[in-house]
Structure 1
Amino acid sequence: MENLLAEREEELRYLREQGGAGGLEREEELIKRIDEDDAKIQTLERLIGDAHDLPLLREKLAKCEEKLRSEISRVSQLEGQNFELVQEKEKALNDLKEERGRITELETQSRISSDIQNFRSKPAVTPDLNPEAVADMERLLGAVDRLRGERNGLRRDMHFLETESKFTIAALEAKITSLSSIPASPQDGMITAEGQWKEIKRLRGLALVCSLVIGHLETDRTKLEVQRNSACSAYEEKSNVLALTEIRLHETEDRLTTTIQLLEETTTQRNDTMSRL
């Protein structure tokens, strides 16, 4: 090809030396052929150069194919990891939603616990459990015992008065009978009988007063016993409510502790998941 190019150049010089119009056309044609031949030569040189670099290109191609397969495998692995991360993210979101519900429930339980603590720290709110109510109850019990003692004393006094009045009336009646058998002036008999009947009326009036007083004391005692029973019932009811409330409080505190632990574990898992994302 180089020899042909040299011949073309030699022919071109010859035509330039000859000159003329035909020579110019021939010269242009030769220049065109020379350019074509030059392009062919460059193409052949590139092909020859590529032929020398073919093993290297094949090696590069093999490396590229290996790298491509490695990248494809890595992309597949990353896609699998991404799928797992998406699932973990969805699970974490669901857990977060559940934990938010638990937190809401815990806040409600915390408010209930706070109310219970306030209830326990303020015993004055419950009138049957404060010191004044206890003192009133003790006074009522003391009054009941005192009235019971007075009632028993009055009953003994009344029984004694009734017995005494019976003996007195019997003695007076016997005395009246004995006096009626003794002759005396009408005026003396009238005075004696009048005094005896006055004594009898006095004793009967005293017995009636004692009976009324005992009845009044019995009524007061009954009222006080009713008040005492009502206060005791209210106290027992409040004590039962307080005991039940304390049991529920302990159960709520246990559930709160367990839920807080679960919340901390879930928060740790969520943070780990978010850090991986």
Structure 2
Amino acid sequence: MRQGADVIVDDTTQTRYQLASVSKQFTAAAVLLLVEEGMLALAEPVGRWFDGCPQEWQNITLHQLLTHTAGLGHWDDYPMIDLARRVDPGDLLKTFHCVPLKFPPGEGWCYSSPGYVLLAHVVERAADTPYRVFLADRIFGRLGLTSTFAGSPGARPDLALGHDAEGRPIPTWELDVVGMGAGDVWSTAKDVLTWLDALERGRLLSEPYRTLMLTERARTDNGPDISGYGYGVFVGELNGRRWWHHSGHNAGYKAYVGNIPELGRRIVVLSNTEATNASTVEPLLP
């Protein structure tokens, strides 16, 4: 764990952990890079990039996918999908099509990992580049995140093995297809701290795209400290100060990142056990 100007270091190794849903920050940034270059538009319909979309999907925009206002559900709404088993990407998209929307696009809020899987596919198609390669070339390499990668690890070293709450090793989720864009990034505490600083300081996204990502784009009312969602981040106020943050949970892994810009305070918690309660980091914040 690394925290802000007064750095607290609990793990000085180069161990790489799954970031789980913290990965959505990279997906949002990838989309915004392409928007900045004129290759995508936030208001464009998702049907431009996918054949065979059901009629109720016709008005879904990239903005709505980014803010979880498209009407798609979360994984519990897709019980036919095994998160640990690789499937053909086309079959996965057809499965998404088969589940009715929870509400008309733009008329509600529901956290949706499938929506971010769709965004990763849009990035692939717009850039004509595999998603993991786009992240490596346009984000990880550019920012010097040398220990960060997306997707299945292959033979890479320094990987934390996921464990259940009783300390037993458990199989990882599939990250190349099912988890792509939603929970597929591996990283270290040091790299994630660099990532948070790069986002806040505009090293990756220029204005207005940096502000679009890190400020409220949709209302969520998830609690006293969380008022809304930007693009890939929850936003709100903590003790009267603006902050943005996100948690993540894959099988065997927990993650939590946060940033309070006014104080220069950042926090990164990466864990390879289900026993971790990421909410316990909040008392560390002023």
**TM-score category of the 2 structures, normalised to the smaller one:** under 0.3
The structure in which a higher percent of residues are strand is 2
Structure (1 or 2) with the greater helix fraction: 1
Q: TM-score, normalised by structure 1?
A: 0.13
TM-score in terms of structure 2 length: 0.13
